[in-house]
Amino acid sequence: MSRPVSISRARHLVLIGLMLSGFALLAGRSAQLQLLDSDFLQGQADARHLRVVQVPAHRGMITDRHGEPLAISTPVESVWANPRELVASPGELARVAALLGTKAEQIQRLLGQRKDREFVYLRRHMAPDKAQQVIALDIPGIYLQQEYRRYYPAGEVASHLIGFTNVDDRGQEGLELAFDKWLSGEAGAKRVVKDGRRHIVENVENIRSARPGKSLALSIDRRIQYLAYRELKAAVQQHHAHSGSIVVLDSRSGEVLALANQPSFNPNNRRRLTADKLRNRAMTDVFEPGSTMKPFVIAAALQSGRYVPATRIDTSPGLFQVGTYTIHDMHDYGVLDLTGVIRKSSNVAASKIALALDPQDIWRGYSEAGFGVATASGFPGEVDGYLADFHRWRDIERATLAYGYGLSVTSMQLAEAYSVFANDGYRVPVTLLRRGDDDDVHKQVVFHPTVARSVRKMMEEVVKEGGTAPLAAVSGYRVAGKTGTVHKSEAGGYAKHRYVALFAGMAPASDPRLVVVVVVNEPSRDEHFGGQVAGPVFSRVMAGALRLLNIAPDAEPLLQTRRPAAEGPA
């Protein structure tokens, strides 16, 4: 009986010994891990859970001249997935799809196509509260990433000028593109600890602070911008026109206070954006300027010393033959002095003056006023226009250039050129950025001050009774300007019933502060003359802008509205 007891006791001792040995091994291993291998294991843990993540930087703000926002960046969340980790039931995937505004099948197809990747966007730029609802579903493999989205408070009113960014916040059009480097921020970096679901549980170290983009202050006055856009849009709709553009310029500083086009687009919602709405027509669309060029021919004539304001030109019988080409006036205006040439907009008189002048004198006046070269605005895609070298001019070209055919300009070029008359013969380069009071602006002499003031005085007759644009007058202010009504070119010549209606002018004429150019392309109703179509737009925009800038009147108020005199296409 003693032998079985001894065996049982031996077994217990062996079992106890094995257990003690196991505990000893565990204790030893624990000591090894905690004392000897702790640095190695901590490094391995950090390698798996310590990450360097990017800290997004927001883009610089674009403001008008008074600091009113025109483009700002707002924080948003983007939802992304790791196809290798994503595990979701059909019901969960359907709920995710509903929050993302898509279908579960589309998400499955997207993940299936990119299953070899570890990062796939499911939805960019969601509102933070909506994105949090996605994360609240607690589905492994779905994460959030903070980004910034551009928002444009002025919407379509300033869209052609400001432009827009893409989904990665890079400038694509307009000033967003031109100043992309200036506006773009520099992302920062920080070291963080993430849990198994890639959620940040601890910020460990700031490696590099994010650097926001720099702000950009434009020359634009948002109040005048809204006014110009509203009036241009109303005119284009009223006359069933194809398109239009308007530029409002501070003639003294060269600052663009407003620039608008029709048709326009909403940069905050570009789903249905088409190419014809995208163009900044004031900078990219060229046209023949017609009779708006006559003041420059008159100025060249006065500058030459061969003409004085009282010089008389016989326009009878309203026709003038140049080679095989016949130049027409709307009526037989008889004998006109230089003021009458401007007031009646005589093609015959302008042609006779141009043919009597040295071609180089005309070309110099045109080119130094800025025709044939892009302005210094720096706007992407701005075109040069066209002005041929005077050595290639034939007589007919000299004649037609006098009333604005044979060259091409943009609305911005025409506004800059008219500022020469507003600045007593000096050309001030235009800018889309706000200029400080101390900024040194280079001024180029184009015409003698006496010449510029004389032509400006002549242009005041255009908005008076008997002129071509009394509808462009502004109550209480002296206005100087010129109309243009241009036949559009087409294959084989010029269209008979397709026009561009123009008005370019300045106020107050005694000491001009503002220059406004209005271009309405292809008005399709009965009215198509510049004085009828573009003149009233000029009047309303100029009146509003003068009031907003608190510029004192310099004339007696108008007593009544008058109709424009007949104006020929030129």
Cα→Cα distances 397→9, 323, 359, 383, 544, Å: 127, 11, 10, 22, 39
Residues 248, 288 share a domain = yes
User: Contact 128/77 with Cβ under 8 angstroms?
Assistant: yes
Residues 336, 449 share a domain = yes
| Rounded distance between C-alpha atoms, residue 486 and residue 285, angstroms | 15
Q: What is the DSSP letter of 565?
A: P
Q: What is the CATH number of the domain that holds 177?
A: 3.90.1310.10
What was the pLDDT predicted at 514? Answer: 98
Cis previous bond, 263, omega within 30: yes
Compute φ and ψ for 502, nearest 5 degrees.
-130, 150
Residues in CB range of 1: below 8 A, 6 or more apart: none
Residues 405, 295 share a domain = yes
Q: Which residues pair with 487 in a beta bridge?
A: 499
Number of domains forming the structure of the chain: 2
Report if residue 16 sits inside a domain: no
Residues 201, 237 share a domain = no
Report if residue 32 sits inside a domain: no
Report if residue 555 sits inside a domain: no
Which residue in the list 78, 245, 291, 419 is annotated as catalytic? Answer: 291
Residues 232, 180 share a domain = no
Residues 291, 201 share a domain = no
Compute φ and ψ for 147, nearest 5 degrees.
-140, -175
Q: Which residues pair with 78 in a beta bridge?
A: 145
What was the pLDDT predicted at 215? Answer: 95
Q: For every one of its 570 residues, what pLDDT tens digit does the chain have, with 9 covering 90 and above?
A: 455 657 777 777 777 877 877 777 777 667 666 655 666 656 555 555 666 656 678 899 999 999 999 999 988 888 888 877 777 777 778 888 888 888 888 887 887 777 777 788 888 888 888 888 888 888 887 888 888 899 999 999 999 999 999 988 899 999 999 999 999 987 767 665 655 555 555 555 567 777 888 999 999 999 999 999 999 999 999 999 999 999 999 999 999 999 999 999 999 988 888 888 899 999 999 999 999 999 999 999 999 999 999 999 999 999 999 989 999 999 999 999 999 999 999 999 999 999 999 999 999 999 999 999 999 999 999 999 999 999 999 999 999 999 999 999 999 999 999 999 999 999 999 999 999 877 778 889 999 999 999 999 999 999 999 999 999 999 999 999 999 999 998 887 888 889 999 999 999 999 999 999 999 999 987 889 999 999 999 999 999 999 999 999 998 754 444 556 656 676
Q: What is the CATH number of the domain that holds 354?
A: 3.40.710.10
Residues 175, 131 share a domain = yes
Cα→Cα distances 53→56, 197, 207, 308, 399, Å: 10, 15, 10, 75, 69
Tokens of 28: 């030893």
Tokens of 114: 């990119």
Q: Is 326 exposed, middle or buried (0-12, 13-18, 19+ CB in 10 A)?
A: exposed
| Helix or strand run (H / E) with residue 305 | none
Q: Which domain holds residue 58?
A: 53-217
Q: How many CA atoms lie within 13 A of 459 on its CB side?
A: 35
- Which residue reads 């008359």 in tokens? 421
| Rounded distance between C-alpha atoms, residue 156 and residue 136, angstroms | 37
User: Contact 300/362 with Cβ under 8 angstroms?
Assistant: yes
What is the value of pTM for the model shown?
A: 0.84
Angle between helices 395-402 and 347-356 (to 10 degrees): 130
What is the SS3 assignment for 89-144?
Answer: CHHHHHHHHHHHCCCHHHHHHHHHHCCCCCCEEEEEEECHHHHHHHHCCCCCCEEE
Of the chain, the end-to-end C-alpha distance in Å amounts to 136
Report the mean per-residue pLDDT for the chain: 88
Residues in CB range of 215: below 8 A, 6 or more apart: 60, 61, 62, 63
Residues 231, 164 share a domain = no
Report if residue 296 sits inside a domain: yes
Would residue 291 show up in a list of annotated catalytic residues for this protein? yes
Q: Which of 264, 262, 260 is nearest to 521 (CA)?
A: 262
